[in-house]
Chain A
Amino acid sequence: MNAVDPTVRPGVNETFVLNLGPQHPAAHGVLRVKMTMDGEYVMRAEPVIGYIHRMHEKMGENRTWAQFLPNTGRIDYLSALHYNHAYVAAVERALKIEVPRRAEFLRVITSEMNRISSHLVWWSAYLIDLGGLTPLLYAFDDREKLLDLLEAVTGSRLTYTYFRFGGVYNDVDEAFVRGTRQFVREFRPRLKMYRDLVTTNIILRKRLEAIGPISAELCRKYGATGPVLRGAGVAYDVRRAEPYSVYPELEFEIPTRREGDSMARYLVHMAELEQSLRIIEQGLDKLPEGPVMGKVPRVLRPPAGDYCFAVEAARGRFMVRLVSDGKDVPYRVKLRTPSFSNLSLFEEASRGMILPDALALMGSLDLVIPDIDR
């Protein structure tokens, strides 16, 4: 739309550098973007990261396999359960631990609930970026109901450590199943309300449509995944591409949009909320009886070698690469986080946009800064 080729504008030499962040309302935490601007036009936007680097990978080499588990809930704190899942499953893969089916279903159900709460936070924070203040309160209202359910079973509101090697920490009761069904019932009309009130709003559409187009090829070159890649028309979802847990047994669609603009990413997020509701419903229907913990050796010493496990986190592909040397402490824990790759294309995608559009693009990438910095 308003993107211009900076090279064809005559007399462009009065640029200045705007340091957006590390403390800035649109930085979602502590991202810093060094913007070379010509007036309102962004000539170059260079993200500077590391302001919340928390040494997760170093800590992995300092703790036993089990002790690292709480860290996984604090990398991308909005979709903590997916990160739990990837790490736990990678260790299970290394040790060839069988997970009971009930535990697998519980993992899927709670993961999808976590995805909904994550998308709700993204949605509300994105609307704040765009200047709409009220959706936040509505989304948090829904989110609180979800957190009540998750808290009852996981014992935590945000930074879960619910999944354990060989299963899950806690079995659910009848109240959880009932409450979750009720939530699904109540949340569908709310989604429709959000669509009517927010998504179809003319100002919002004008701000998002055709803003920040990202092509599938750009995503591939930068390794961007999740709603960014799906918004560019590629139906890539780790749940289908590298099936894990009981996802192959469940029916759901991978929502994609062709346009690749910010609106496409927005709509993909909103459509994923509905798909997550579907998965939760099916999971509850098929939830088998049985134990929630499998047989796990007392001392964990995975055989030497490396083991990868990827999951579809709320922001895209999250992969854990574990290197074991056969001891009870990991030799190397590599965390491949989606926000890192998604942000890396920002510099190329934002060139020549005006500041509000660049921020609309940045918000649509769905960034969680500790997920980038680790």
Chain B
Amino acid sequence: METTVDTSRIVQFAKLDELLALSRANSLWPLTFGLACCAIEMMAAGGPRFDISRFGAEVFRPSPRQADLMIVAGTVNRKMAPAVKTLYDQMLEPKWVIAMGNCAISGGPFVFPGQYAVVEGVDKLFPVDVFIPGCPPRPEALLEGIMALEEKLTGKRRWPVVTPPK
């Protein structure tokens, strides 16, 4: 017989949880992990014009143990997939994944009937929190993705969404 007990309903640390969520949202350390073209835009997001460090996310950690956020920036192919999966498993909870670019979302332009190499979306390997479309996405899009992830964590939006004038 199975009894499922949702512990989060019994023990609640509402304020502490909020505080932790806020802390985590402000301290997303990404894994130094570039795969292809999108990695260059990821580097550009760390550059002076876009400066990902404003959100406390410039601490690119090369070791998966110390990273909180995996930005899958590029194509994952079948040879690479076990390595990416291992990296994801080596990251410690709580961890998040951003699929950056069309390749990471769905295989992007490299999907065609009869293709033999590309994994059609990293969500086939592990859960993904935020998808950022683009080929490659602009650095602003990556920043927006990080803010979307923060919103997912805290429930609050950091900056209001700007709608472009018509």
Contact = CB atoms under 8 A, between A and B. Distances in A.
Interface of A: 22-25, 28-30, 50-55, 58-59, 62-63, 70-71, 74, 77-78, 121, 125, 136-137, 140-141, 143-144, 157-159, 369-370
B53 to A, nearest CB: 10
Contact of B49 (A23, A144, A159): A144
Contacts of B46: 136, 140
Given A51-B80, A70-B109, A158-B136, A144 B44 contact: yes
Contacts of A24: 62
B35 A30 contact: yes
Given A59-B110, A59-B112, A51 B43 contact: no
Interface string B125-146: 0000000000110100000000
Contact of B40 (A63, A137, A158): A158
26 contacts: A23-B64, A23-B83, A24-B62, A29-B36, A29-B39, A30-B80, A30-B83, A51-B80, A51-B83, A52-B74, A54-B36, A55-B110, A62-B114, A77-B36, A77-B40, A121-B43, A136-B46, A136-B47, A137-B48, A140-B48, A143-B44, A157-B41, A157-B44, A159-B136, A370-B37, A370-B75
B116 to A, nearest CB: 7
Given A29-B35, A51-B77, A55-B116, 12 more contacts: A25-B32, A51-B83, A54-B75, A54-B110, A58-B115, A58-B116, A74-B37, A136-B47, A140-B49, A144-B49, A157-B41, A159-B136
Contacts of A63: 112
Contacts of B112: 59, 62-63
Interface string B22-46: 0000000001111111011101101
A338 B49 CA distance: 31
Contacts of A22: 80, 83
B28 to A, nearest CB: 18
Interface residues of B, number: 36
A217 B136 CA distance: 39
Among A53, A121, A144, A370, the one with the most B-chain Cβ atoms within 10 Å of its Cβ is A53
A71 B109 contact: yes
A136 B43 contact: yes
Contacts of B39: 29
Contacts of A137: 47-48
A12 to B, nearest CB: 30
Interface in B91-138: 109-110, 112, 114-118, 135-136, 138
Interface of B: 31-37, 39-41, 43-44, 46-49, 62, 64, 74-75, 77, 79-80, 83, 87, 109-110, 112, 114-118, 135-136, 138
Contacts of A59: 110, 112
Contacts of A370: 36-37, 75
B37 A159 contact: yes
Contacts of B114: 58, 62
Contacts of B118: 54-55
A159 B32 CA distance: 22
B48 A52 contact: no
Given A23-B33, A52-B80, A157-B138, A121 B40 contact: yes
A58 to B, nearest CB: 7
A125 B36 CA distance: 14
A53 to B, nearest CB: 5
Contacts of B47: 136-137, 140-141, 143-144
Contact of A54 (B33, B62, B77): B77
B49 A52 contact: no
B52 to A, nearest CB: 12
A83 B101 CA distance: 21
Nearest to A128: B43
B47 to A, nearest CB: 3
B87 A23 contact: yes
A106 B49 CA distance: 27
Contacts of B83: 22-23, 30, 51
B37 A52 contact: no
A151 to B, nearest CB: 9
Contacts of A125: 43
Contacts of A144: 44, 47-49
Nearest to A73: B37
A77 B46 CA distance: 18
Nearest to A370: B36
A309 to B, nearest CB: 23
B157 to A, nearest CB: 26
Contacts of A54: 36, 75, 77, 110, 117-118
